[in-house]
Structure 1
Amino acid sequence: MKTQNKKTYISVFILVAIDQIIKIVINNKFFDKKFPILPPLLYFDPMFNRDYSWFNSMLQLGVGKYIHILIVVIMSILIYQLYQYLNKQFGDNKIINIMYAFIFSGAICSLIDKVFWNGSLDYISLNVFFTFDLKDVYINVFIGLVILSLILKNKVLSQIDDDIVKDFTKYVLRKL
């Protein structure tokens, strides 16, 4: 494994560990506490989201735990495969490694939440709109980096077009 890939996977491990340690501490010591972080916008207000996803919660879809686990497993595999494919096609790329570390960490944290926490221990409340956790921040950092990279016309990301999507699909199908 390349040195940069090792750093990326160490980063994933650290990000997942931080998320889970925070949840363990909150669950054991601070679950019944509420206080402002940046009033009137952000508050510490822990709660369990037993609906397993924001979409399921907001739209009251009633989709169960095991379907959510299956979706996260499939998405995690696809994220991993896309990362492997991009490394094969373009070699080591720092921004892709960073983006992968955030999105894969978010996916692993989501899987841990569903399997071991029976939902997500969310603890940062954005006024009255919704409550989120560090995993959600990881996923949004990934989205922000993708948008920023597209705006700044990142060399590798600008090469991703319809042909690469077709090639990636073939790459994944060959792996099956």
Structure 2
Amino acid sequence: MKIKNKKTWISVIFLISIEQIIKIIINSNYLDKNIPILPPLLYFKPIFNRDYSWFNSMLQLGIGRWIHILIAAVMSLLIYLFYSYLNNRIGINRVINIMFAFVFSGALCSLIDKVFWNGSLDYIQLKGFFTFDLKDLYINVFIGMLILLALMKNKTLEEIDDRNIIKDFAKYILRKP
């Protein structure tokens, strides 16, 4: 299989590596630190989220690790397949490549957290709200770009805005060898 979009895949590897290196350094040296970044709002305050997801934590659902691993793996696969579908349908697109790099990196980092860290090592505290990490920022960059594209009525988004997109995507997945 020939790798398309090498820059995109290098970006994915880079984003995942940065996130994991930061977590390894924090876990080894700074786990017990509480450092103001922009007081009184933003702090460096590492914690392990053993609830595995924001929804599980906020709603106290009690959903276990293996279900979260399964969900993260399926979501990562669907993100990859949808990216592949978009490349097939509209061709290689720089904006889609950037968005994919962020959301796929975030999804894989989430899977890595659940498999290897038994939760998420979150380290940036938004006082009074929640604590997050770099993967959460990756996913939010993707969401922000998606919102901007929608507000700007970007032609890239118009090319994929189709009533039959879910049906076409399902057909694409089922045709894959």
TM-score (norm 1): 0.96
Displacement of 1:175 in angstroms is 2.8
Find the counterpart in structure 1 of residue 79 from structure 2: 79
Find the counterpart in structure 1 of residue 164 from structure 2: 163
User: Structure 1: any 5+ residue segments left out of the alignment?
Assistant: none
Q: What's the CA shift string for 1:101-128, capped at 9, x where partnerless? A: 0000000100000000000000000012
Find the counterpart in structure 2 of residue 117 from structure 1: 117
* Structural RMSD (CA): 1.2
SS of the residue corresponding to residue 103 of structure 2 reads helix
After TM superposition, the structure 1 stretch with the greater mean CA deviation from structure 2, 120-129 or 163-172, is: 163-172
Displacement of 1:18 in angstroms is 0.2
SS of the residue corresponding to residue 164 of structure 2 reads helix
Find the counterpart in structure 2 of residue 24 from structure 1: 24
Amino acid at match of 1:166: K
- How far apart, CA to CA, are the structure 2 residues paired with 1:2 and 1:14? 17
Find the counterpart in structure 2 of residue 143 from structure 1: 143
User: Structure 2: any 5+ residue segments left out of the alignment?
Assistant: none
How many residues align? The count is 175
After TM superposition, the structure 1 stretch with the greater mean CA deviation from structure 2, 156-165 or 120-129, is: 156-165
Find the counterpart in structure 1 of residue 99 from structure 2: 99
- How far apart, CA to CA, are the structure 1 residues paired with 2:105 and 2:3? 19
SS of the residue corresponding to residue 43 of structure 1 reads strand
- How far apart, CA to CA, are the structure 1 residues paired with 2:158 and 2:70? 31
SS of the residue corresponding to residue 118 of structure 2 reads coil
- Seen in structure 2, the aligned counterparts of structure 1 residues 167 and 57 have a Cα distance that, compared at 3 Å, is same
- How far apart, CA to CA, are the structure 2 residues paired with 1:7 and 1:137? 20
Find the counterpart in structure 1 of residue 173 from structure 2: 172
- How far apart, CA to CA, are the structure 2 residues paired with 1:80 and 1:49? 26
Find the counterpart in structure 1 of residue 39 from structure 2: 39
SS of the residue corresponding to residue 128 of structure 1 reads coil
The percent of aligned pairs where both chains have the same amino acid is 67
